[in-house]
Structure formats: structure tokens, C-alpha cells
Structure 1
Amino acid sequence: MVMATIDGSIVIIAMPAIFRGIGLNPLTPGNVTYLLWMIMGYLLVQSILVVSLGRLGDMFGRVKIYNLGFLVFTLASIGLSFDPFSAQRGALWLIGWRFVQAFGGAMLMSNSAAILTDAFPEGQRGTALGINQVAGISGQFVGLLLGGLLSAWDWRAVFWVNLPFGLFGTVWAYKSLREIASTRKARIDWLGNLTFAAGAGVLLTAITFGIRPYHSDPTGWGNPMVFGGLILGVAFLVLFCFIESKVKDPMFRLSLFRIRAFAAGNIASLLGAIARGGLQFMLVIWLAGIWLPLHGYDFKDTPLWAGIYMLPLTAGFLVAGPISGRLSDRFGARPFATGGLLVAACCFTGLMLLPIVFPYWAFALLIFGNGVGSGLFAAPNTAAIMSSVPAHHRGAASGMRSTFQNSGMSLSIGIFFSLMIAGLANTLPKTLAPGLTAQGVPAAAANSIAHLPPVSTIFSAMLGYNPVQNLLSQAGVLNTLPARNVATLTSKQFFPHLISGPFHHGLMIVFTAAALMAVCGAAVSWLRGKKPEASQELSEPLEVAAAD
């Protein structure tokens, strides 16, 4: 689980080194698509496939699918590290192998929770799934740190790091895990699989492209293709629901959503993932674009240090997750899952109250609290979801749980980036244009740069590029200015002071939305009931899949 989720975030910090390695500037208008797919493609593929792979685990053996996932993941990591191309072809090679790697990761994610649920009795599932879930979620943040450390040495090391773990895991899994859970042979629901994949794929792709500018608009939500993609994606998912209600052996039994603990747990997971998913990006931009340069760090070093300064967030996960899992075994999931989301909402509110140049101890305390809140939620919620369904549906149920979580992450990135970009588009030109003209940039060029969609500025700050230097270079005016003005414009102080006000305005919008999502998730979580309903209704013995 750590491997599968680390690779969802490890490329974020390593992106500048990766694109330098293949000789491609990801921030030029024609190359932003490659950048988006490197970030979002992994999550998108996993969101599409986890339900189908979980169902295949129910039918043909969860351990078989899980073991194969290790092998596919490892082979994809090898393919990524031996990119033979450069420029656009090199980027396409990486994106393609990232899709394959996400396929292997989806095999692991969709079946690990089901195997653990089978292997542990109900009184120990919270602890077991807590360790598994927190390992997965913390991997998203550990990936940020590893990406910075490894890419500073060699960009290929970002993918090499998987090889020893993948090779060991593949050998260990094939030698040690044995298939004890009974399987239920059934026809593969091709129509259900295809309509779900098409619906989720088109919907999440449209959301991804909603981040890109469209003509003079700062985001792509006015693009007819994006709007049409949203409608088409929803239509496919409606068709999927109709098909699943008619076929004899559906890919996913929609009747599982009649189980209150399952339905409430998944909806709460979706809302919690939306609240949490964009957090790491906003914090990286805040640290790398403003706080760290103002404290003397070079822009090229800020992504790595942003990962280091965000360690309290990971620590909060690691502290709270196993503890809440164990306590939920004794006292039930509802108080911990609900309380965790409320803690996270309070910390989002606290982040809104911080000044843009904050004392680090206050920032660290708030993100640690956010990690604690998410850790309190994750383990009990997962245990409650998995314990609520009949044993022979656990693979598909685990896949649906992962789909809600990964889709929430993708939605969060699309929503939060769009809110931030829209907020900056309204406020940034008022400070950027006067700031540039004061340093000798011609008024026409300054106004043109100031009214560019802010997406390039946001990604520059996140990836360790000097945003003003990048904008002026693309406009072709940097080399026409006196050296003194160039030194001022590209200094560590100029951009952070210029963007502080507009960025804080955007942060207020984003963290308000995150806090509201967390509160809504807490309300839904409370409605789950005291105990999983289906676990009391099982008429067949619990089969297990365990290690020798």
C-alpha cells in the first residue's frame, strides 16, 4: 500500500528533475498537458480500475490478483526508469508506463483491504486495517519527501526506489500468501466493466482538463468539450447503474449501498478525500512559492524543503491511525471517524487564520492536527465499510471504497486548483502589472503577462521554478531589461511579496471549501449507525486468505 500510494505523489516534487532529464519545459503552453497527465494520470487509472479488479479478486482469487499486482507494478517501474526518448516522446513514454504502474497499484489497492478483512476477526480488523489504511494515506505525503531527495541525485532514482521493494514483495507474495478464501465463479460483466470505466474515465478526464485555461478564460470549465465530458461521464455511470440492476452476475451489486454503514462510510470517505486531497498541493505552493523564498531558500530547492516542512502532517497520520483503529475495535467506528473529520475541519479553519508569512510552530501544529484528524477517520471508516458487507463481496466492496477515495482526490485537485486559479485571476493582475512596470517592464508586456491564466504561475511555484523569471522568459522581455532590474525581478523576495495578497485570498476560498467538505463528511459519518449491519447477517462461515 505504501508503494502504491507513494507513487501517486512522488513525481510531484521530482517533476522539474524529470522534465529536465528528458529535455522538456513543462510550463510552456503546449506542454502543460504532459504535466497534468503526469500528476493526474496515475490517480485516474486507479480510480477507474479498482472496482473491476476487486470483483475479479472475488471471482478468481484475491491473492492471485494481489500477487500479479506486485509483478506488474515492478515491471512498470523498470520501464519508467529506462526511458529511451527525449522531449515529447519521452514524456509520452513516462505517461504510458505510469498508466501501467497505476494498473499494478490498483491490483494491490483493490484486494489488500479485502484480504486483511478476511484474515482478521471483527475485533481486530480496525487495528489491521488502520495500519494498512494509514500506511496508504501517509504514503501520499512520504512520496513528496522521497521525490525531492531522490530527484536531487538522479531523476530515474524516483522509479528505481520501487525495484527492491517490488522484487522482494513479488517473491514474498508468491511464496507466502496462499488462497484460502473461497471464490465464486461467475461470468465477467463486460458491459458493466466497460460502462463504469468509460463513465469514470471521461468524468475524471473532463475534471482534469477543467484546470487548463480555455481561450481567455483562466480555467477550462467553459470549454464545451469539458462540459460535454461531464455530461457524457454521468450518462455512462447512469447506464452502468441500469446494467448492474439487470444482469445476473453484476460487476458490483448496487444493493450493497442499502447497507447504511457501507453507503455512509463511502460517502464520508469521498467528502474527506475531497477535503484532504488538494491540501498537499496548496501547502506545497504556499511553502515553495512564498514562505520558503522569503526565508532565504532558492526556488529550485523549495519543493524538497516543502516536503520536509510538511512532515508533521505525515506524523499526525502515523500517530493517530493505528491508535484509532485499535480503539474503534472496542468502541465502534462512528465516534472516531466523525471526530476525525471535525478535527480536520477545525485545522482547516486554523490555517485560514494564519498570516501568509506564519510562525512555523503554528503551521506545524495545525498540519499535525490535520494529519491526526485524517488518521482518526481513515482506519475506523475503512474497518466499518469492510465489516459491513458479506464476505464474498469484499473484493468488489474494497474496490468501490478505493474508487470513492481516489475519485475524491482527483475531484479535490480539480476543484481546489480551479478555485485557486479563479481567485488569482481576479486579484493577481492588480498587483502583478504595477509590480512589473515599476521594474522597467514595458506596460504592454506587463499587462499581457498579468492577464495570462495563473495556471502557469501556480505550477511554477509548485515545481521549483522562479515564476516571474519563467513568465518574463516566455514573453521574451527578460533579456531586454537592465541587469539591476532583472536581479530585482528574479530575486527571492519579489514574487512572494507580489503574490502574497492574491494568494491568501485564494487560500481562504480553498480552505473554506475544505472545511465545509470535512463538516459534511462528519455529518454523513455520524449517520452510519453504531454497528455494521451486514456483518450480523452472514449465514456462511468467514473464509480467510492469510500468510503461511
Structure 2
Amino acid sequence: MERSQRIKLSILVLGTLMGGLDSTIVILAFPVIAEELHSDLLTTMWVILIYLLIVASLTVQLGRLGDIFGRTRMFNFGFGVFTVSSFFCGISATITTLILFRGVQAVGGALMEANSGAIIADIFPPGSRGAAFGYNSLGWTVGATLGIVLGGVITTFFGWEYIFFINIPIGIVALYLGMRYLKDVTRTPASLDIAGMVLLTAGLSLISYAAVEFAGNGLTTLSMILVPLGLLLILIFAWHELHTRTPMVSFESLSRPILKYSLLAAFFQSLGYLAVTFLITMYLQGIRGLSPLDAAILLTPGYVMGSVLGPYMGRLSDRIGARVVATTGTVVIAVAILIYLAIRVDTSLNVVLLASFVSGIGTSMFYPANNSAIMANAKMEDYGSVSGALRMVQNIGVLGSFVLAITVASAAIPRALAFEVFTGTSQVVGHVAGAFIRGIDAALVVSFLLLILA
């Protein structure tokens, strides 16, 4: 890899990492944010949900903007929006203001995530993209999982505001480097699918709102109305995509089996794997009584393992093929879930460490190979929209895993207690702890099945 390629790749990885990081970094800061901004926990949930919704809904269209106006231009613009909005998130005095600027921050994150993969495809030839995507997917995956860790650390030692302020110096440096080193290679005439974007955003928003309502108040008339309505809008979105001349993702591209099935695998992988991360965090805090900081530290070695091995696994996929590496990675993660299924109320925490290491190896194999397979089967003029589609399905998976973790655990113990356990403000004991373990086991089995689908 040439020096200029290394510099460009470092900038792209940094942008992807920051986007993934901020999708989850507020989770362990929920209780503090709710207390200091005088909000209830259900409203505070929208600090993370608004980010996931916007990134999931806009990445494809913002990737297409990169095709039209220049991918590096849109990437750098996204970095600027992300950095400025991070400052306003940190100084927010009300929960409404914080949610608003988190939405703006999500637009910046979506611009970075949507265009980074396309820029890599512009810079690197097909034979060496695996390693490059290894680093880039490392950024998103490690960012999303490390966000949980860093959220606990930063909130404990500095305050919730600094989970946003930390983005500012990094963003300024990265924006300078991006404007200096990243140059547009090609632009492609394309059209935006505004109607499709609105339908998808509305459908996901209604389902997410119903999920929050269910997590807080159980099955209500409102949630029973919103879920079917949201699903109906998504079905209308699918019909629209089949009949519009400018679909969000080219159906000619999706006719390629490897691209289509790799996108589906990315969705189920995110849905299954990140649900496991949320569930084990709940176990460590709710059953074992660990603080958010201690729980985060215990899970760190596995994330480090994934970070170190990612680029090497990307090179391996270049040599032996992406399908073998990605499939093996999924199997390894499934093995990690089986190890997690062995934990009980008094199980040694070394079991959690072992499972964390194994899952780190699995993610280091799956994501680089999966990303490489997707972009290798996309046409050059569709790089932006396909890269955006990948981030879209991954972020929808993250959103679904977040809802899955709370919903399944809520079926085992009182709903309010499950939510407090998730945010680290309560611990369960006695027979309730046993019921909670059974709830976590059920959710882990669901995650295992989702990974098998991947």
C-alpha cells in the first residue's frame, strides 16, 4: 500500500469510526443525561434512536449525492457537519435541543458512512480492496461496539458532555487532512429518490416509536396501531422502489446474487451480533452488579482483538475469497454466542472474557470480507448508493438489536426494571435474577438464529 493510499485510508477509517462510535456511545450515559437535563428515560432513548433512524434512512441517498457531486466533497462536508453539531450537542441545555442536534449530527455521520466505502473503491484496485475494507469496516464495527465502552468511561470520569466534545478536535484535524489529501476521481449522473427516502424514514420512525412505547408501557393501543402502519409504509416503499425509474439501489446491481446475499448477511449480522453486546452489558450490570465502567472494561479485550485482526483478515479474503472468510467469521461469532449461553448467575467472568475474544475474532473475519464482496460486485457508477445501502442495512440492524435486547429481557422481568438494568441504574437479585437469565438466554438464542441466517 502506497503512502498516499495509507493517508487517505486513515482519514476514511477515522470518519467511519466516529460515525459508528456515536451510534452507541450515549447508551451508558442515558441515566446521567436524563437526570441532568430533567428528562425521563423513555424520552432520552431518542438521543440514540434519532441518530440510528436518520443514518439508516439517509445513507443511500447521501451516497448517491456523492455519486453526483463528488464523493470526497460529500465526505468532507459530512465531517464538518458532524464536528459542528457535536459542539452543539455538548452544550445542549434541554433534552429537546440535544435530540435536535443529534439529528443534525446523524446527517454528518451518514454522509461520512455512505461515501467512505465508495471512495475506497475509487482508490484501491479490486485485488487489494479486501485489506482496505478490513480497516474501514474495522472503523464502523469497532466504533459501534467501543462506543458502549467509551460512553461508560468518559461519562464516569469527565461528564456526558464530553462524549460529544471529544469529536471536535478529532473532527477539525480530520477535516483538514480530508480537504488536503482526498480528491474526487469521478462523478456520475444520477437522480435522488426523495419519495422512497420519505417512505422509508416514516416507516422506520413509526416502528421505532412503537418499540419505545412498548419498552416503557407494554402493549398499548398506540403501539398496536403504529407497528402495522409502519410496516405498511415499508411495503409501499418496496412497491415504490420496484416501479420508480430512480430506485435507492439499482435493481440491476441487486440482480447479482453475491451482492444481494452479502447485503442480507450484513443486516442479520448487525441485528444478531450487536443485540448480544447489549444483552451481555445488561447481564454484567443487572446480574453481576458491575458498574457501567467495569462492564465496559471487561468487554474491551474482545473489541481490541477484532481491531487488531481486521486488516489481516481483509488481506486473507483478497487471497482466498471473501465468501470463505465471511462465512467462517459468522460461524465463529455463533460459537461465541453458544459460550455466552453457558453463563449463569455465578459463572466466572472469565467465561465472558473468552466469549468476547472469540466474537472479536469472528467480527474481524466477517466485516472486511463482507464489505469487499459487496463493493466488488457493484458497478463503478453505483459505488456511492451501494456503499450507502450497506450502511443502511447495518444501521437498521443496530436499531433492531437495540429494540430486541430490551423487548426480550422485558418479557422476563418487570418492564421498568429491565430498562433500568439496561442503563445501569438497577440490579436484579433472587428469583428475579434467574428469570432475567432465562430472558437473556431466549434473546441469545434468537441472536444465534439470526446469525445462522447471515
Give the TM-score normalised by structure 1.
0.76
Distance between the aligned counterparts of 1:250 and 1:286, measured in 2? Answer: 42
Distance between the aligned counterparts of 1:466 and 1:247, measured in 2? Answer: 50
The percent identity for this pair of structures is 29
Q: 1:460/1:208 Cα in 2 relative to 1: closer, same or farther (>3 Å)?
A: closer
Match of 2:262 in 1: 265
Q: Does 1:41 align with 2:50?
A: yes
Which is richer in helix? Answer: 2
1:165-221 deviations in whole A, cap 9, x for unaligned? 11111222122211112322x4433323322333333344434433232xxxxx33x
**How far off is 1:69 after superposition?**
0.4
**How far off is 1:516 after superposition?**
1.1
1:478-522 deviations in whole A, cap 9, x for unaligned? xxxxxxxxxxxxxxxxx434532111111110111111111121x
Match of 1:388 in 2: 377
Pick the aligned partner of 2:213 from 209, 222, 225. 209
Q: Does 1:173 align with 2:178?
A: yes
Q: Secondary structure at the match of 1:278?
A: helix
Distance between the aligned counterparts of 1:284 and 1:202, measured in 2? Answer: 27
Match of 2:7 in 1: none
Pick the aligned partner of 1:109 from 97, 110, 113. 113
How large is the RMSD of aligned CA atoms in angstroms?
A: 1.8
Q: Does 1:422 align with 2:411?
A: yes
Q: 1:496/1:423 Cα in 2 relative to 1: closer, same or farther (>3 Å)?
A: closer
The answer for unaligned runs of 5 or more in structure 2 is: 1-15
Give the aligned residue type for 1:508: D
1:272-421 mapped onto 2 (5 Å cutoff): 272-291=269-288, 293=289, 302-421=291-410
**How far off is 1:134 after superposition?**
1.2
Distance between the aligned counterparts of 1:412 and 1:19, measured in 2? Answer: 22
Pick the aligned partner of 2:204 from 187, 200, 204. 200
Conservation of the 8 A alpha-carbon contact between 1:274 and 1:408: yes
Give the aligned residue type for 1:61: G
Conservation of the 8 A alpha-carbon contact between 2:339 and 2:355: yes
Pick the aligned partner of 1:11 from 7, 26, 31. 26
Match of 2:227 in 1: 230
Q: 1:319/1:187 Cα in 2 relative to 1: closer, same or farther (>3 Å)?
A: closer
Distance between the aligned counterparts of 1:203 and 1:289, measured in 2? Answer: 27
Q: Does 1:59 align with 2:63?
A: no
Distance between the aligned counterparts of 2:111 and 2:250, measured in 1? Answer: 20
Pick the aligned partner of 2:447 from 488, 495, 514. 514
Give the aligned residue type for 1:513: V
Conservation of the 8 A alpha-carbon contact between 1:130 and 1:321: yes
Q: Secondary structure at the match of 1:178?
A: coil
Q: 1:154/1:414 Cα in 2 relative to 1: closer, same or farther (>3 Å)?
A: closer
Match of 1:479 in 2: none
Q: Secondary structure at the match of 2:186?
A: coil
Give the aligned residue type for 1:288: Q
Distance between the aligned counterparts of 1:284 and 1:81, measured in 2? Answer: 25
Conservation of the 8 A alpha-carbon contact between 2:69 and 2:187: no
Q: Secondary structure at the match of 1:46?
A: helix
Distance between the aligned counterparts of 2:115 and 2:435, measured in 1? Answer: 44
Distance between the aligned counterparts of 1:55 and 1:322, measured in 2? Answer: 27
Conservation of the 8 A alpha-carbon contact between 1:277 and 1:410: no
1:59-78 mapped onto 2 (5 Å cutoff): 59-78=68-87
**How far off is 1:82 after superposition?**
1.2
Q: Secondary structure at the match of 2:85?
A: helix
Q: 1:178/1:405 Cα in 2 relative to 1: closer, same or farther (>3 Å)?
A: same
**How far off is 1:141 after superposition?**
2.3
Distance between the aligned counterparts of 2:421 and 2:292, measured in 1? Answer: 9
Distance between the aligned counterparts of 1:234 and 1:461, measured in 2? Answer: 30
Q: Secondary structure at the match of 1:345?
A: helix
Pick the aligned partner of 1:251 from 242, 245, 248. 248
Q: 1:188/1:456 Cα in 2 relative to 1: closer, same or farther (>3 Å)?
A: same
**How far off is 1:329 after superposition?**
0.3
Distance between the aligned counterparts of 2:192 and 2:153, measured in 1? Answer: 44
**How far off is 1:16 after superposition?**
2.5
Q: 1:199/1:255 Cα in 2 relative to 1: closer, same or farther (>3 Å)?
A: farther
The answer for unaligned runs of 5 or more in structure 1 is: 214-218, 425-453, 468-494, 522-548
Distance between the aligned counterparts of 1:141 and 1:338, measured in 2? Answer: 21
1:145-184 mapped onto 2 (5 Å cutoff): 145-152=149-156, 153-184=158-189
Conservation of the 8 A alpha-carbon contact between 1:319 and 1:372: no
Pick the aligned partner of 2:148 from 130, 144, 156. 144
Conservation of the 8 A alpha-carbon contact between 1:303 and 1:462: no
Q: Secondary structure at the match of 1:188?
A: coil
Q: Secondary structure at the match of 1:310?
A: helix
Distance between the aligned counterparts of 2:103 and 2:90, measured in 1? Answer: 14
Match of 1:458 in 2: 418
Q: 1:403/1:227 Cα in 2 relative to 1: closer, same or farther (>3 Å)?
A: farther
Distance between the aligned counterparts of 1:257 and 1:206, measured in 2? Answer: 31
Match of 1:2 in 2: 17
Match of 2:10 in 1: none
Conservation of the 8 A alpha-carbon contact between 2:115 and 2:388: yes
Q: Secondary structure at the match of 2:247?
A: coil
Match of 2:4 in 1: none
1:69-113 deviations in whole A, cap 9, x for unaligned? 001101111101112x3xxxx111111111111111010001101
1:437-471 deviations in whole A, cap 9, x for unaligned? xxxxxxxxxxxxxxxxx23212322333245xxxx
Conservation of the 8 A alpha-carbon contact between 2:29 and 2:160: yes
Conservation of the 8 A alpha-carbon contact between 1:48 and 1:201: no
Distance between the aligned counterparts of 2:200 and 2:424, measured in 1? Answer: 37
Distance between the aligned counterparts of 1:81 and 1:92, measured in 2? Answer: 13
* Greater C-alpha Rg: 1
**How far off is 1:256 after superposition?**
2.1
Conservation of the 8 A alpha-carbon contact between 1:241 and 1:254: no
Match of 1:471 in 2: none
